[in-house]
Structure 1
Amino acid sequence: MANKRIMTPEEKVLLQAKHRLEGIEARNRKKERNARTRRLIQEGAILESIAPHIKEMDLDTLKRELMIRLRGM
């Protein structure tokens, strides 16, 4: 069986704090991902509303067209 060592109260408190911090960081990463996803969806919707013909373009063609048209700006 594995050699299990009993944790001191200080070690338990430290481990709990570490786990709380990891949970907070994970929630922040999820919030950031959700915000980015929302922004990308909104930007795509704006692009489609301005230029409806892009719905039929594949992604490589769309990228090439945008690079050509936005390069002069």
Structure 2
Amino acid sequence: MTQDEKRLLQERHRLEQAENRNRVAERKARTRRLIQEGAILEKALPQASTMNLEELEDFLYGILRKN
């Protein structure tokens, strides 16, 4: 393997690592946002914590359709 091939392989590997770090950071940011939004929902609508997901979805869509 020549030096140029080695450098190219190393650069490709560095790029893949950077892309992987970005994907992980985006996933963590999305998870954090979803958790925060869920906490806000439960704070504004305390009965949400006792509903299953389908009931909560139906309830929210019902509210939104009235407006």
Range into which the TM-score falls when normalised by the shorter chain: over 0.9
RMSD over aligned Cα atoms: 1.0
Would you say how many aligned residue pairs link Structure 1 and Structure 2?
A: 67
For residues 20 and 56 of structure 1, the distance between their equivalents in structure 2, rounded to whole angstroms, comes to 47
AA aligned opposite 2:33:
R
Q: TM-score scaled by structure 1?
A: 0.86
Structure 1 segments of 4+ aligned residues over 6 angstroms from their partners: none
Query: What runs of 5+ residues in structure 1 fail to find an aligned partner?
Result: 1-6
- Residue 19 (str. 1) matches residue 17 (str. 2): no
Q: Percent of aligned positions with the same letter in both sequences?
A: 57
How far did 1:71 drift? 2.7
Query: What runs of 5+ residues in structure 2 fail to find an aligned partner?
Result: none
Q: Quick check: which one's helix share is greater?
A: 2
1:61 to 55, 61, 67: 55
Structure having the higher Rg: 1
Matched residue, 2:38: 44
How far did 1:72 drift? 4.0
